[in-house]
């Protein structure tokens, strides 16, 4: 269940040197190295092969990404004891697939998957939005981290953390210094551990 007080934001410091967009190969190599430096990395990521591999999503992954997006909302509503309308969830899945089909091509949206032996275990996306300058960030481009989902059989193994760190690294290379998201109850510890802080005064309204 999305709540106004659960919107998170993180401001990133500029990185020195070149800020060109990292390639899929760079992300696949750099992210696991970053992860292994921290003490918060689950031991299962250091276990024997087969390993989890990060890669940037392609058009072929859209059906899986859209299914994950739908399951994320279904699980949030089940956890909050809210009704789940299958027809509405199917519409959400299709709308997200349509968004990815358009925006992966233009670069407005990027997505990543974590897979093991060719099977996708987790996924997540980042959309580039235009906002207003704030004292902490004079830029207008804001990254929205969204749709982070891990298959039940792969949870608590650091897969979602790999996705989050991939997005943060990507934003640094693009000189995007503000990253926002809406967290579920289950996702709160993950985002807090990655430097996100609550913005309790956020509000929203849906118009007909």
pLDDT of res. 61: 99
Assigned domain for 36 exists: yes
Q: Determine the structural domain holding residue 117 and report its residue range.
A: 4-57+110-198
Task: Give pLDDT tens digits for 14-53.
Answer: 444 444 444 444 443 344 433 333 333 343 455 575 899 9
CA-based radius of gyration for the chain: 17
Assigned domain for 95 exists: no
Assigned domain for 148 exists: yes
Contact 126, 146 (CB under 8 A): yes
Assign residue 17 the CATH number of its domain.
Answer: 3.40.630.30
Number of domains in the chain: 1
Q: Which residues pair with 178 in a beta bridge?
A: 11
Question: Which DSSP string corresponds to 19-71?
Answer: -PPPPHHHHHHHHHHHHTTSTTS-GGGGSSSSPPEEEE--GGGHHHHHHHHHH
Rounded to an integer, what distance in angstroms lies between the CA atom of residue 203 and that of residue 200? 9
Assigned domain for 131 exists: yes
Assigned domain for 92 exists: no
Assigned domain for 85 exists: no
Assigned domain for 73 exists: no
Task: Give pLDDT tens digits for 155-169.
Answer: 999 999 999 999 999
Assigned domain for 102 exists: no
Q: Higher-confidence residue: 95 or 185?
A: 95
């Amino acid at each position: 269940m999305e709540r106004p007080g659960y919107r998170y934001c993180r401001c990133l410091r500029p990185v020195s040197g070149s800020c060109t967009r990292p390639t899929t190969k760079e992300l696949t190599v750099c992210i696991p190295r970053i992860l292994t430096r921290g003490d918060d990395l689950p031991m299962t990521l250091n276990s024997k092969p087969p390993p989890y591999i990060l890669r940037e999503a392609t058009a072929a992954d859209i059906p899986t990404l859209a299914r994950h997006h739908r399951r994320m909302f279904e699980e949030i509503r089940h956890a909050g004891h809210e009704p789940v309308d299958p027809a509405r969830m199917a519409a959400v899945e299709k709308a997200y697939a349509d968004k990815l089909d358009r925006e992966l091509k233009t670069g407005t949206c990027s997505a990543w998957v974590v897979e093991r032996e060719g099977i996708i275990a987790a996924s997540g996306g980042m959309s580039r939005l235009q906002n207003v300058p704030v004292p902490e960030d004079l830029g207008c481009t804001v990254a929205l981290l969204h749709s982070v989902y891990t298959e039940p059989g792969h949870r608590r193994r650091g897969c979602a953390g790999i996705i989050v760190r991939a997005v943060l690294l990507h934003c640094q290379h693009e000189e995007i210094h503000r990253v926002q998201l809406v967290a579920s109850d289950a996702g709160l510890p993950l985002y807090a551990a990655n430097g996100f802080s609550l913005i309790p005064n956020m509000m929203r309204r849906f118009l007909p």
